[in-house]
Structure 1
């Protein structure tokens, strides 16, 4: 639960003394270090700080949102996990949300839902829901995403299936879901037919070898 302004001031003083300098040192460390381990640790720390509203202005001044967005394109899965976690935390703030949306955030976040890392996928789906606005809804509920959520909703992983189901129920129309189901069924039929034809071809080839 977010703290009130009065509670935040009691914790850090009216000017948040020390926080900006510390966050600035983290950003500098992330940019200057050549160690992947140090980068991952620093990125994880920044993602944790993105949870607290008192840090939002500092994070914007230090361009940490850009740092998170850039890290989503890293090859290292851990970098992506911490970056999407940071974005997920930060985008609860309207200014942060608007900035992320204006800087290709939906596309970058959407790429994360195909990650092999469960935490990354869960954070990505949650982030897409947080980024939902009347303007962004069309992009966020585009057919490929709806179809992906439909597959996730059928997963044996309860966390994933429950979250995907919330996405479908809260943000997608019945028509969108029906169309995704129709395409899935066609793909299943096509795959079944292809396998059947392959099996028959192998059978005929074996029979040909037997009688030759």
Structure 2
């Protein structure tokens, strides 16, 4: 393993997984929107790096992102959709999202929403849907029920 790859990996797995688990717990435990926004921003940043996808799967971070897009707060929606956009190409997360029509509907609603929404949320949502489309999802009529 190259030195740069070793540096990129950061802390050993269990420590990072434990930290991510603490972030997920903090999101669920707090009532403060600013604290939730900060947790989501952190989780979304971790989701950007595929090295973290396994740990994020283990701590159910995807459910935090899905919960966030259902909230009224525009920044929670933005950070939740950003996290989903970052993680949706990982095969486990991809399958989880496409296996439940409710997840697709929750993402689709964000595109057409007129209030309490940021432009980045709409862009993230369109990106998620675009990245989720593959031959399996087309055959399953997940996105193309009228065709």
Q: Work out whether the TM-score is over 0.5.
A: yes
Is 1:72 aligned with 2:69? Answer: yes
Greater Cα radius of gyration, structure 1 or 2: 1
Residue aligning to 1:95 = 92
Q: Secondary structure of 1:140's match?
A: coil
Gaps of 5+ in 2: none
Contact in 2 for aligned 1:9/1:16 (Cα 8 Å): no
- 1:141–1:8: structure 2 CA closer, same or farther, 3 Å change rule? farther
Residue aligning to 1:122 = 123
Structure 2 distance, partners of 1:109, 1:43, is 17
CA deviation profile, 1:149-201 (whole Å, cap 9, x unmatched):
xxxxxxxxxxxxxxxxxxxxxxxxxxx8xxxxxxxxxxxxxxxxxxxxxxxxx
1:28 Cα deviation after fit:
1.6
Structure 2 distance, partners of 1:14, 1:33, is 26
TM-score, with structure 1 as normaliser: 0.59
- 1:50–1:78: structure 2 CA closer, same or farther, 3 Å change rule? same
TM-score, with structure 2 as normaliser: 0.83
Gaps of 5+ in 1: 144-175, 177-212
RMSD: 2.2
Count the aligned residue pairs. 140
- Pick the aligned partner of 2:9 from 12, 19, 42: 12
